[in-house]
Each structure stands twice: as structure tokens, then as C-alpha cells.
Structure 1
Amino acid sequence: MARLSLCSPARGICITSHVLFEFRLCVCTEVPPENGPKDDLLIEGCAEFSNMLKSKSFIANRRIYGEKCGLDVKFLVLINAVQAFVDIEILRAPACGLNLNLYAKTSGFSDVIRLYQGIAEAGCRMSSVVAVEIHSYLDLRMEGTLKDDGGVSQKLLSCVWEDSFDSCYHGMVEKVVNLDEATMVSVKITWRTVD
């Protein structure tokens, strides 16, 4: 089964008893032709799912259709949710850079949401938005290894950080995390209600 990860920016829209998906998915080629497009549009459109009236949060699977193909999506519908704005800044990192993965779990569901995957260097910033049920929690997990410059025979160090944050209507939590002696990361979570 193919899995496609969605990258930020993403947004949430509050609609009573409906789910609205706005989507544009492109296939990026590593070596695009000089005169051709850099991306090949795979699917684009908007889909609305109704009959979402339930008293508890749930996960659903649906198919959305575009002009060229269909795409199966898995989504989470949260009842009484707030938005967690997750802002990450790399304060200090090894000179060669860091392979960084940032994951989240929300509201007690076991499905993992990938917030970031890629190379990070000092000064790099990334932001994501995750919905969280009120009176629940957001779990974050950060994994980092030294960037392999190809042919480097040194053993790559691996660092992992995990924490859980209780949701609230408004507020901010900020932490400075030392992944290892050479890597320092600022984690800031700002809680806001959905307008």
C-alpha cells in the first residue's frame, strides 16, 4: 500500500456535521526537464463528506476523486477540539547538519502524524498545526541523527526526545530541548480555539 505524507502548511476548517477537503497533490521529479514543469499534477479538487454526526471523536476512511485518479484518505474527526500550533527552531546543531524527524499523536489516538522529515541546520524553523481534543493531550516525538555526508565512516549518533502536552483553550508552552551536546532545539506550542 502506498503512503503519501502531507507537508505543511495544512489548515483546519470548522464546519458543523461536514468534513471539507481541499487538495492539490503533485508528483515532484528530482531532475525535471529544462523546459518542462517541475511538478506533475496528480489530483486536485475539493470534496465534502456529510453525515459526520457523532458524539465521540473518530477516524474515517474515504475516497476523493480528481480528473486523473482517485485517492483514498484517512482522517480524524475531533469533537470539541483546539488547535496546537507547534513551532520548532534549531538553536544549535552540528556543522554537518541533522537528519530530523518530528512526529505527533493526538487525543489518545495511536495513529502517527509526521510533522517534519528532512535535513535541519542551526537557524532552521518549522511550523505545523495539529487539532487536539480539549481535556486531552498532544504527544510529540523528535528523532535526530547526524547528516551522513557520504563516505563518512564515523558512527552516526542517534537522539530521541518525547513529551506530552495537556491541551487548553488558550496559552503557550515553551521548552528548550538538548538532543545531545551539540544539538539544542526550541519547542513552542501555542493553544488556540478554532474560530
Structure 2
Amino acid sequence: MKWGNWLVGGCCTIFVLVIVTPTGVYEGISKLSAGKDAAAWVQAVGSIIAILAAVAVAAYQNHHENKRRSREINTAMYIRMQAAMWASDMAVAAIASVPGALQNDEQLPALAEFGFPQHTFDDAAATIDRLPLHEYESAEVAVALSLLRTLIRGSQERAKILVELLRNGNSITEIMWEDLEERIEDALKHRDLIHAIGTPTA
């Protein structure tokens, strides 16, 4: 309550300096304090002081409430950004898993027989879907997350096509590899943007 006490004291001081002293009220109060209207004057002054105190308390409570709301907003913003960074990491991992798996000779037989694991893409896309994109303070973050989701689903479809090529005994062309690399580069660009915005600066 130190802040509130200072405010009350300040209000009383301003009342004395601005109203009581210049207008001669103080002198009048001194004369009346010994008269028959002394009780009324005491009550009037007490009422004024009570009003000033009430204003000061209300101001303090409003100040305290604003600080509390500010802390809650900052906490919510931090949690949302942490979730966005985690989702962007998952997106990059899912997209980068396609060329990694296709270049792994030990995984090729399983991919050709069972197809590419879909849960890798589904989990990454679902993580972004759960985020309240409209609540992000930065439109850049919301857009980057939306683009990452599009890249996830596009890479998922591309993986199906490439696995089907392998099943049919065809090879993956250089253009197809370049397409996969471009998808990874785009995903990394969006992820880095999200991390740059979400990482506090010193």
C-alpha cells in the first residue's frame, strides 16, 4: 500500500496548497474551530479528506489491476510463442524427413511396401491446427504457421507420389530432389522467422 499512501498524502497536500492556503480557508477554519460551528467544519474537512482517500484507493486498485492484467497478457503471449516455435520445429522435422527417408537404403524396402509414415505429417499439421492463429499479436507468425501447414500437407502428398514411383521400380529424378530441398528451405525460413520473433532479445 505504499503507493496508495503516497497518493493520499499527495492529494491532501495539493488540497492544502491549492485550495486551503490561497483562499484563506485555513484562517477561517482556525477562527471557526473554537466557535459553535467547529463540529460542522471538522465534519466537512473530514468528508473532503475521505473523498480524496477514496479516489486515491480507487486509483491504486486500478493501477494494481492493470499491472495484473499486463502480467497475464505477457504470460499468455509467451506461452503462445513457445507453442508456435515448437510447432515450427515439428513442421521442419516432418518435411525434412522425406528426403532423409528416401535416401536411406535400409528404409526403402519398407517405404515401398508400406508407404511413408503418415503420422509424422498428421501430428505436425495437427499441432499447428490447435494453435489460435487469430490470437497471435504478430501477423507474421500467424502467416508463417499457415504456410508451414501448407508445406506439411504438400510434402505429405509428394512423399506418397515418390513412394509410388519406387514401388513401380522408377527412380527419383533430380528435379524431384530439388523440389524436396526447396520445401525444406521454405520451411526453415518460416521456422527461423517464428523463432526470431519469439526469442526475447537481451
The TM-score, its normalising length taken from structure 1, stands at 0.18
CA radius of gyration, larger in? 2
Of Structure 1 and Structure 2, the greater helix share is in 2
Of Structure 1 and Structure 2, the greater strand share is in 1
Higher relative contact order (CA 8 A, sep 6+): 2
The TM-score, its normalising length taken from structure 2, stands at 0.17
